Amino acid sequence: MSQPQHRDHAGATLGMWLFLFTELILFGGLFLLYAVYLARYPHEFSVGGKELNVVFGAGNTIVLLTSSLLAAMAVTAVQRGQQRATAILLGGTIFCALLFLGIKYVEWSAKIGHNIYPGSIRLRTGPPGESVFFSLYYLTTGLHGLHVLIGGTLLAFVTVRVQQGKIDSTNYSWLENGALYWHLVDLIWIFIFPLYYLIL
């Protein structure tokens, strides 16, 4: 068989896509619960949804879409052999990730300040559907936030390797897979945003 250090770029990408399916299905469980409980408590969900701040949600959507664009541009840059541009674009993506988490922090703090969190007195004594809505909201956005953190860390690791020259135009599977993961984080948010902030 070929050289001992053979690289299978297509194989690495296939593996990453398979892994991304598993991530989608992980969130699928929460979306399933959302669908069932929305059908059971349409009124409470609508009341809960109106409490969420569309400005924060829309702002975060713009931040994430921008970050995804920067990640895609980084992949193009590395294919063209522009190492410096790649690192800068990745830096931009990571900055957006941090900005997203910052906005999320402010948003959650405000909610918790209003005595809305799983097991809070307000939710314990309020209508059951609202407790379900906000529990789902915290779990879904929390799990998504965790993925933002993981994706950002992964991209930081990739950036270091780009600067060390270990990732270049001949070998960029790590960068491409990191970017794919980042697009997944973005994609999931594209579903979370309308379901929680817009349609209710």
Partner 1 sequence: MSLPDNSRTDISSFWNDTGKTGIAAWIFSTDHKRIGLLYFYSVLGFFLTAVGLGLLLRIELMAPGRTIMGPQTYNALFTVHGVIMIFLFIIPGFPGAFGNLIMPLQIGARDVAFPRLNLFSWWLYMIGAAIILTALFTGSGPPDTGWTFYVPFSSRTGTNVSLAVFGVFIVGFSSILTGVNFVTTIHRLRAEGMTWRRLPLFVWSLYATAWVQILATPILGITLVLVIAERALGTGLFDPGRGGDPLMFQHLFWIYSHPAVYIMILPAMGVISEIIPVFSRKPVFGYKMIAFSSLAIAAAGSLVWGHHMYTSGMSDTAILVFSFLTFVVAIPSAIKVFNWVATLYKGSISLEAPMIFALSFILLFSIGGLTGLILGAAATDIHVHDTQFVVGHFHYTIFGGSGFAFFGAMHYWLPKFYGRKYAEKPALIAWGLMFVGFNITYFSMMVLGMKGMPRRYYDYLPEFAPLNLASTIGSWLLAAGLLLLMVNLFRGLFRGEPFTGNPWGGATLEWSTTTPPPTENFEEEPVVTHGPYDFKGTGIP
Q: C-alpha distances in angstroms, 160 versus 75, 97, 154?
A: 15, 17, 10
66-125 residues in contact with partner 1 (CB under 8 A) are 118-119, 123-124
> Which one among 71, 78, 89, 132 touches partner 1, defined by CB under 8 A?
132
**What is the nearest approach in angstroms of partner 1 to the Cβ of residue 145?**
14
62 binds partner 1 (CB under 8 A): no
**C-beta of 93 vs 140, nearer to partner 1:** 140
HEC-encoded secondary structure of 94-159:
HHHHHHHHHHHHHHHHHHHHCCCCCCCHHHHHCCHHHHHHHHHHHHHHHHHHHHHHHHHHHHHHHH
What is the rounded distance in angstroms from the CA atom of residue 177 to the CA atom of residue 19? 10
User: Which of the stretches 6-14, 93-101, 154-162, 173-181 binds partner 1 when contact is defined by CB under 8 A?
Assistant: 6-14
Q: How far is the CB of 34 from partner 1 (least distance, A)?
A: 11
**Residue 7 interacts with partner 1 (CB under 8 A): yes or no:** no
Whether the CB-CB separation of 123 and 131 falls below 8 Å is answered with: yes
What's 184's DSSP letter? Answer: H
Q: Kindly state whether residue 39 participates in binding partner 1, applying the rule CB under 8 A.
A: no
**For partner 1, which stretch binds (CB under 8 A), given 52-60, 64-72, 107-115, 134-142?**
134-142
Within positions 135 to 194, which residues make up the interface with partner 1, using CB under 8 A? 135-136, 138-139, 143
Letter for the amino acid at 114?
A: H
Residue 46 to residues 157, 169, 189, Cα–Cα distance (Å):
41, 50, 20
Task: Name which position in 18, 39, 113, 121 contacts partner 1 (CB under 8 A).
Answer: 18
Other C-beta atoms within 10 Å of 178: how many?
27
Tokens of 173: 């599977």
**Piece of 36-44, 52-60, 70-78, 154-162 that binds partner 1 (CB under 8 A):** 36-44
Query: Which residues sit at the interface with partner 1, rule CB under 8 A?
Result: 1, 8, 10-12, 14-15, 18-19, 21-23, 25-30, 32-33, 36-37, 40-41, 44, 118-119, 123-124, 127-132, 135-136, 138-139, 143
